[in-house]
Amino acid sequence: MEKITSVGVVETQYFTCNEEIKLECGDTLKPVTVAYETYGKLNQAKDNAILILHALSGNAHAAGYHNEEDKKPGWWEDMIGPGKAFDTDKYCLICSNFLGGCSGTTGPSSINPKTNRPYASDFPVITIEDMVKIQVKLVDHLGIDKLLSVAGGSMGGMQALEWAISYPYKIKSCIVIASTSRLSAQGIAFNEVGRKAITADPFWNNGHYYNEDKKPDKGLALARMVAHITYLSEESMHQKFGRRLQDKVNLDFSFDIDFQVESYLRHQGKSFVGRFDANSYLYITKAMDYFDLVEKHGSLCNAFNKVLAKFLIISYTTDWLFPPVQSKEIVRALMNMDKEVTYCDIDSPFGHDAFLLEAERQTKIIKSFLKDIS
Amino acid sequence: MNEHYKKSQGLHLNYAVISDFIAEGSKVLDLGCGSGDLLYLLKEKKNAQGRGVEIDNDNVIQCIEKGLSVFQGDIDEGLKEYQDQSYDYVILNQTLQCTHKPDYVIQEMLRVGKKIVISFPNFAYWKVRNDLFFGGRMPKSKILPFEWYNTPNIHLVTIKDFREFCEKREITILKEVLTTRAEVKTSIFHKLFANLLTEEVIFVISNKVQCL
């Protein structure tokens, strides 16, 4: 019999928080609906839950399939399941779509109860702190006092750090992969190009395009193409595409697609448009840009002053968007504050995307780390 | 007592010696901590607040499995992640001779730690001399098992060399434990001919004059 390694068919669930949520910008939101999925069983003591935090373009569907015919599993299928890093035989995994998203949780495409129309650009500017605030409501709703761990890569890692700092009594451990305590100028720059691509699209219409036939698809696709380059490395692009031509032997001497890498990026842009909302992209990248633990707390050491969790920080050698040196800054501050922290710098050619691709090595590290948390 | 502890207990004489140096509840940084056996021992036996630095991926994973906090990095790049005088002890066990810049590593250790524990195989041990003198070949032994072309031991050193280094750099030697064939040697005779008779040595050094 084949060994079962997937959680199988799963269903997205919804929780609506009817409390008024006060946001960092000063505005309030009510109600907030949260889309989430769970994998594995919550034990009676409710102390085996791990919250998985997704990155920019992720969603609540982290593992398994939505129906029998579904060909594409959740975004972290390699890491979540029976016997995997996040072992569903042992732990109960929770993953929710974050605030401002477009995959079930309240965001700019949701209906504003005051106008009965989509929020669009009336949606308040949200932050990582706000996202975590909503996640806390969900975890409370599920009756969990303390999470065994929170874990996330990239922007998910920012949320994990926010959990550790703002809710120290609510988590036992914190796994931060390919992330940072503040996005670099380079990171902000790329996000701005992405936003500009969207807002420069004539169909963006100041965000009010939900009831129109044409949407800012071209702008969103372009934003994704630019961003996708930052997720790869020079080495991985060379390996994957080199200078190989796409379905042709000779150059075209035109502006059509010549190279495989062009075709790949266009495909990435096109398929992204089908599953993502342009306004969400604007809000989420802004939240990422605003995240700055040093600015907020005076210093990283101050930020980590009250944390209680045991930390695991992982970086990837060829990640230039969230480079290892930024992970080391976090580790240094934690060590200086005498907190328990383990740091692994994994040698991988895959750039920032490694956190989604290097399942095998990541699994060994995370499994060992979680074994000691109880 | 769990399996890690039992395993590490009988492993090395220098683990036991080093463990004796370390005061209860100390903050300890182990450089090149390998699979974390010494750190684990110190944590269990001395209630030490132990941290490790290790470059090898598999070793790091073994450390994590033991519940240790470990930093994956290269000690030759220095200890810039660590604050001045932030550890009671910084340990470099059987690793000095593998470093590219031993003087820099020692200088960094003295910056970060109040006391430094360094152990290394003594290259002036009579058997080593014997190998070279009579055999005419690069010495090989249990402690130095490699061939000349694949050895990580690139900065081999003798007790005399190390003492001289400490004197030149105004480093205080607080303690010197001589071991040969897995036994601590304390006789006056042995101490008199320490450089000739000692297979492995463990130094405790410090920047300031301190009593252990």
Short-list A201, A190, A198, CA closest to A289: A190
Tell whether B135 is covered by a domain.
yes
Q: Could you write out the DSSP letters of every residue in chain B?
A: --HHHHHHHTT-HHHHHHHHHSPTT-EEEEET-TTSHHHHHHHHHH--EEEEEE--HHHHHHHHHTT-EEEE--GGG--TTS-TT-EEEEEEES-GGG-S-HHHHHHHHHHHEEEEEEEEEBTTSHHHHHIIIII-S----SSS-S-TTT-S--S-B-HHHHHHHHHHTT-EEEEEEEEETTEEE--HHHHHTHHHH-SEEEEEEESS----
Dihedral of CA atoms B189, B192, B195, B196 in degrees, nearest 10, equals -40
Total tally of structural domains belonging to chain B: 1
Task: Provide the pLDDT for residue A313.
Answer: 98
Task: Provide the pLDDT for residue B14.
Answer: 83
pLDDT band at B142 (very low <50, low <70, confident <90, very high): confident
Domain that holds residue B171: 3-204
Closest residue in A to B62 (Cα) is A368
Contacts of B81 in chain A (CB under 8 A): 328, 331-332, 335
B81 touches A at CB < 8 Å: yes
Task: Provide the pLDDT for residue A2.
Answer: 57
ipTM for the predicted complex? 0.88
Give the catalytic positions of A in this structure. Answer: 154, 319, 352
Q: Provide the CATH number for the domain around residue B119.
A: 3.40.50.150
Nearest to B65 among A310, A345, A371 (CB): A371
Tell whether B61 is covered by a domain.
yes
Tell whether B211 is covered by a domain.
no
Tell whether B209 is covered by a domain.
no
Tell whether B210 is covered by a domain.
no
Q: Which two tokens stand for residue B37?
A: 């056996």
Task: Provide the pLDDT for residue B7.
Answer: 40
Domain boundaries, chain A: 13-182+291-371, 188-284
Query: What's the mean per-residue pLDDT of chain A?
Result: 96
DSSP-based three-state secondary structure for A144: coil
| Residue B12 backbone dihedrals phi, psi, to 5 degrees | -130, 145
Q: What is the pLDDT of residues A233-269, one digit of tens each?
A: 999 999 999 999 999 999 999 999 999 999 999 999 9
- Per DSSP bridges, beta strands B183-185 and B172-180 are antiparallel
Which of B30, B54, B63, B69 to mutate to probe the A interface, most A CBs <10 Å?
A: B69
- Tell me what the mean pLDDT of segment B177-190 comes to: 93
Answer yes or no: do A342 and B69 touch at CB < 8 A.
yes
Closest residue in A to B52 (Cα) is A342
DSSP-based three-state secondary structure for A154: coil
pLDDT tens track, chain A, 374 positions: 456 789 999 999 999 999 999 999 999 999 999 999 999 999 999 999 999 999 999 999 999 999 999 999 999 999 999 999 999 999 999 999 999 999 999 999 999 999 999 999 999 999 999 999 999 999 999 999 999 999 999 999 999 999 999 999 999 999 999 999 999 999 999 999 999 999 999 999 999 999 999 999 999 999 999 999 999 999 999 999 999 999 999 999 999 999 999 999 999 999 999 999 999 999 999 999 999 999 999 999 999 999 999 999 999 999 999 999 999 999 999 999 999 999 999 999 999 999 999 999 999 999 999 998 98
Q: Which residue has the tokens 């269990």?
A: B44
List residues of A whose CB lies inside 8 A of any B CB: 310, 312, 328, 331-332, 335-336, 338, 340-347, 361, 364-365, 368-369, 371-372
Nearest to A342 among B27, B70, B82 (CB): B70
The CATH class of A188-284 is mainly alpha
Q: Could you say which of 3.40.50.1820, 3.20.20.150, 3.50.50.60, 3.40.50.1220 is the CATH number of the domain covering A13-182+291-371?
A: 3.40.50.1820
Tell whether B212 is covered by a domain.
no
Q: What is the pLDDT of residues B5-45, one digit of tens each?
A: 444 444 578 899 999 989 999 999 999 999 999 999 999 99
**In the predicted model, is pLDDT for residue B208 greater than 80?**
no
Closest residue in A to B27 (Cα) is A338
Answer yes or no: do A342 and B63 touch at CB < 8 A.
yes
